[in-house]
Chain A
């Protein structure tokens, strides 16, 4: 045993390694396993986090050294009408997108769970969009939304006698049009997770409820939904974070005027991207990322708290 341990042991001289207790050896093994990861998390996660906070208090354009300006970036941000527009857009994606996609996903999962005939095939139809590249499918949807004679949706509307819709060219319709794309891309994942949650509910609960004479609606309300709560909490948080960080679809569906028309679709992440990598206003962009971080944190905590309370 000693020879094997000596050959493969962490860089220690053989004699010293042999004299260590088994417990100490294991601790050394543990830290040698963790050495590289600790460096990674410190250097690639924690240090950049603190740096982002620090940069948010500076004025910095990459060319000259950063100068400390206190809270000036935040003052500027909260006085910027564009920020409030972007803030509203971001929350519109969240507040409409999350409930709509979760309700749809639950309804599909609820019925799909009972389907036996061609179950795998139908499940695949719903799941496939989740495996696509957002940047690629954004262009497909963008093409769908074109006016006639190019756009498929307007072509279809024309056939059934509904007037042409401007979709991505309209200040009112562009954001919902992009939201549909995002919901379409994410719903397959939610359906699969809901189905896993439904399967995890023991069938004895249903049998007991049936013996007690509960109707289907009562079973859904009193048994299925309460027992599904951990799954729902996970999906609400996961999906909300996804909508708050929406970028790929918006960027690719509005490339000629990113976030347009007239900033009506611009989410916070796109504003950050443009401030940092089009205007090179790094300090200001860092302040925006801190705001995004704060929003994500508050929304996650709020949802966990609300959903936990309504037990």
Chain B
């Protein structure tokens, strides 16, 4: 294995002599990667099989068909859940991108009494697990009529301490000179934030947007609690109830699971570089 461990600076020089250790490492990594996506491959494969073929465990269906997709989509509920998830995840993402960066900017670039207190107060909410808040949130929602509404699903996540902290870190790297120059030009503080500072932290904004959207698209626990009618289910909650209902019709369950997974995979294929960079950014700074 020593051959594999050449430092990256030497790699270019060594590229020509392929060493056996490196080939072994590559092959093992590749096999491991295939194992990782096996569940996804089987999910798609089974979603293309008819009920009679499900017991045939071959990965490539003998007689692929889109019937399952047509059946699942034709009853309309899935589209509704899909739409619900899209609305909720989009609205929460927009809210986080706006408010987390506004607060992060204020804490990074303004000096005023109480700034440190506000920062610590927001940061301390990272220690509070969602599970502890769901009972009070449920009570609040039932008193205010928020149960079973989009707002009810969304309100707990409209701002997050994680996003605020991330954005504060990035706004601190924006040089004060730019902001001062904009002030001299007579721009008001809101415009300076929106037009000058925001464009300078777009990598962080995209990381925040990706994380927030993905988190809300896949969210299960709170929607399961706050939503009571089938029409208002988000996709994960709807899929779960759909799967229970189908009991042993695995090809239908796999089709539902595939429908929930396809959008995020498509987005990933298009934005792979930004997503990986965003995860790295958020992980290292957050």
Q: A-side interface residues toward B, CB under 8 Å?
A: 1, 4-5, 8-9, 26-27, 29-31, 33-34, 36-38, 40-41, 44-49, 51-52, 55, 108, 111-118, 120, 122-129, 131-137, 139-141, 143-144, 149-150, 152, 155, 184, 187-189, 192-193, 195-197, 200, 203, 206-207, 210, 216, 219, 231, 234, 241, 245, 247-248, 251-252, 255, 269, 272-273, 276-277, 282, 285-286, 289-290, 292-293, 296-297, 300
Q: Mark B155-177, 1 if CB is under 8 A from A, else 0.
A: 11011000010000000000000
A285 touches B135 (CB 8 A): yes
With the chains together, A135 CA to B239 CA distance in Å? 8
Task: Tell me which of B55, B156, B191, B237 contacts A44 (CB under 8 A).
Answer: B156
> Which residues of B have CB within 8 Å of A46?
121, 125
**Are B186 and A1 in touch, CB under 8 angstroms?**
yes
Residues B5 and A216 in contact, CB atoms below 8 Å apart: yes
- Selecting from B68-76, B195-203, B251-259, the interface stretch reads B251-259
Judged by a CB distance under 8 angstroms, whether B204 is at the interface is: no
**Closest Cβ–Cβ distance, residue B125 to chain A (whole Å):** 5
Interface centre among B139, B155, B225, B244, by most chain A C-beta atoms within 10 angstroms, is B139
Residues of B in contact, count (CB < 8 Å): 100
B39 pairs with A140, CB closer than 8 A: yes
Pairwise interchain contact B29-A115, C-beta atoms closer than 8 A: yes
A108-B32, A216-B5 given as contacts; is B191 within 8 A of A52 (CB)? no
Q: Is A29 a contact of B189 with CB atoms below 8 Å?
A: yes
A126 and B40 contact, CB distance less than 8 A: no
The reply to whether B132 and A189 contact each other, CB–CB distance below 8 Å, is: no
Chain A CB within 8 A of B25 CB:
yes
Select A143's contact among B6, B34, B254, B272, beta carbons within 8 Å: B254
CB pair B268–A131 under 8 Å, yes or no, is yes
Among B128, B250, B264, contact of A150 (Cβ-Cβ < 8 Å) = B250
With a CB–CB cut-off of 8 A, which chain B residues contact A118?
30
C-alpha spacing A74/B48, complex, angstroms = 51
B6 touches A122 (CB 8 A): no
Contact between A122 and B33, CB atoms less than 8 A apart:
yes
